[in-house]
Every structure is written in C-alpha cells, then in structure tokens.
Amino acid sequence: MSETERQNQPHAVVTGGSGFVGSHLVERLLDDGFRVTTLDNYSSGRQENLKHIDDPSLEQVTHDVRDPFPDFDAVDQLYHFASRASPTDFEDYSIQIAMTNSLGARNAFEWALEYDATVVLASTSEVYGNPKTHPQTESYNGNVNIRGIRAPYDEGKRFSEALARAYIEQTDIDIRTVRIFNTYGPQMRPSDGRVIPTFLDQALSGKDLTIHGDGQQTRTFCYVSDLVEGVRRIAETDAMAGDVLNLGHTNEITIEELGETVVDIVDSSSTLTYESRPKDDPDLRQPDISKAKEILDWEPTVDLGTGIRKTVEHFADQRDGDEQTAQVTDN
C-alpha cells in the first residue's frame, strides 16, 4: 500500500487501543477499511494484544490521554476507550482512573473538535451503581456511592458523560455514548480482576473459584464480538449525535451459577468457595437494550456457553505459551 492510498483511507483513533475491548475494536476497524491509530500508555492495555496484526494501516502511539493529544493529518472517528476498568485497580489507581475519565475526556473532546471527528465515548453500566430500577434503562440516573471505593471509576464515567453533554450543548461536536455492560472474551488478562477471567484462571489451575458473598448477585455477560458490532453501528448510524445507548447481553445469571458453568465447561476439579463481598458491589445488573434494538437493529448473538468456550481456548493457549516461554528461559 502506498502512502497516498493509506492517507485516503478513513482514519479512526482508538484510545486504550491495546486494552481488551480496544484491541478487538482495532481489528474490526482494520477489517472495515480504516487506517487506525491507537493511543495507549499501557497501564492496563498490553502490546501483545495487537502483536499478531501485520498491517501498514495500523499505527501504535504510546500516549497518556491525560496529556494533550498528538497532531495528525486528519481524523474521522475517535473511540475514547482509555481507562482502567478492573475492580482490583479501583483503590490502587484511584487518582489515575478519576483523572483519565475527567481530564482525559476533556482532552479527547477538544481534540475531536479540532478535527471535526465523530466521537464514540465508552461509558459503563457502573454509572447505574447499585440500581433500584431493574433492568436499567438509559433514562435511569443511577444509585452511586460518590465516596465509595468504586467512585473514581463510577463517578469518573458519570462525569465524562456530563462533560460530553456540556460540549454537545455548547459546540457542534458529535459525541455518541455507549454504556457497556459486563463484557468478556479473548485478550482479557487472567489477572484482570473481573469475574470471568478470574474464574477461568482459577478453574484452569485447578484452584477453587472465589465467590464473593453468597453468589446470588446477578450480572449479564456479553461476548466481545457482539459488543464491538454494536459500537461500530453506533459510530456509523445517522442521527445518533448526542445519544446514549446500553450495550450488553440480557441473559441474567447469578455469580454462583456462572461459577458452576465455568467449572462444567472447563471440566475442572475446582469447587466454589465463599468470601466476604466487596463494599458497593451491585446486587443486580441487567441492561434494557430496547433502544439499541430499535435504533441499531442490534442484539447479542453469542450465548454464554459458546462465548466461554471461545475464551477458554484463548486462556489455555496463553497458559501454554507462558509455559513454553518459561522453559526456554530456564534452558
């Protein structure tokens, strides 16, 4: 591909492009004919998530979104996905998370204005907190503990949405917001801290699966390819400027049932153990995706069993690769 051909491609920038969701989004954008630039400081993203891609249309830039964004020739779409999202990071990296979702969002919006780029802002189901409305609709304002351990992430995302609304009202910027519910799939870190990678890592190691509380709290789990499909439809659909949509699976399951499912699929000798539950852990979580169905003609297609089997294959391959690397190093 010549430089002229490359420059003529539509250009998408993905912040957090080496993260779990971001890396899958990058692959999809390349498949869709975009040239893609990732901006990532690798605080939680991993360079190996994109190492399999050999494509001149991909450029990876080391950058922290809390700093002003670099200059480019042109930008058509900005996917703002940068932020630590693991519950295990909420205390240790609380300031970084809060500033990434406030100052980082401001930098992203100012930069998008300069290039007249469409923005897809990654928000989260965490903006609903421990919900008193079930399932959660986009009009629900949430029940968040603003001084709790999860607040830097939960309130950081809520602030990024408020800031987006302010920019929309005072400028001609096009920002579309996606509230992402629990998502899983290949390229998650085993040490991520979220429940599916934790359960898979424990089951593959023959360790007991750790259930927090009595395990009756519920979640829904969306396979990453379904989520990315929805994100791309949000970016490409007309008349979406300023709107917000939930994306997630609607099959609600208890954490205890999830643990039993993982043990069964992995065919592990692991059993379930129970520990104290973290503060502010939501009791219920399920998206109302009526708007996504109506506006995007979108709903998830991958069932939980199929998605977990695909994710198990990735985790098993990763463990085999780590063992082979260790053997080479030892020799």
Instruction: Cite the active site residues.
Output: 153
Q: How far apart are CA 127 and CA 177, in angstroms?
A: 12
- At 262, list the tokens: 């993982």
Q: Which residue has 């709290």 as its token pair?
A: 217
User: Helix, strand or coil for residue 60?
Assistant: strand
Task: Enumerate long-range contacts of 314-318, CB under 8 Å, 24 or more apart.
Answer: 314/185, 314/186, 314/187, 315/190, 315/197, 315/200, 315/201, 315/204, 316/204, 318/190
- Beta-carbon contacts of residue 315 (< 8 Å; ≥ 6 apart): 190, 197, 200, 201, 204
Please give the angle made by the CA atoms of 253, 259 and 261, to the nearest 5 degrees: 75
Sign of CA dihedral 162, 166, 169, 171: negative
The answer to whether the peptide bond before residue 135 is cis (omega within 30 degrees of 0) is yes
User: Helix, strand or coil for residue 110?
Assistant: helix
* Through-space distance between the first and last CA atoms of the chain, rounded to whole angstroms: 41
DSSP 272-316: EEEEPPPTT--S---B--HHHHHHH-------HHHHHHHHHHHHH
Q: Which residue has 């709903």 as its token pair?
A: 299
Contact between residue 109 and residue 78 where contact means Cβ atoms under 8 Å apart? no
Contact between residue 74 and residue 115 where contact means Cβ atoms under 8 Å apart? yes
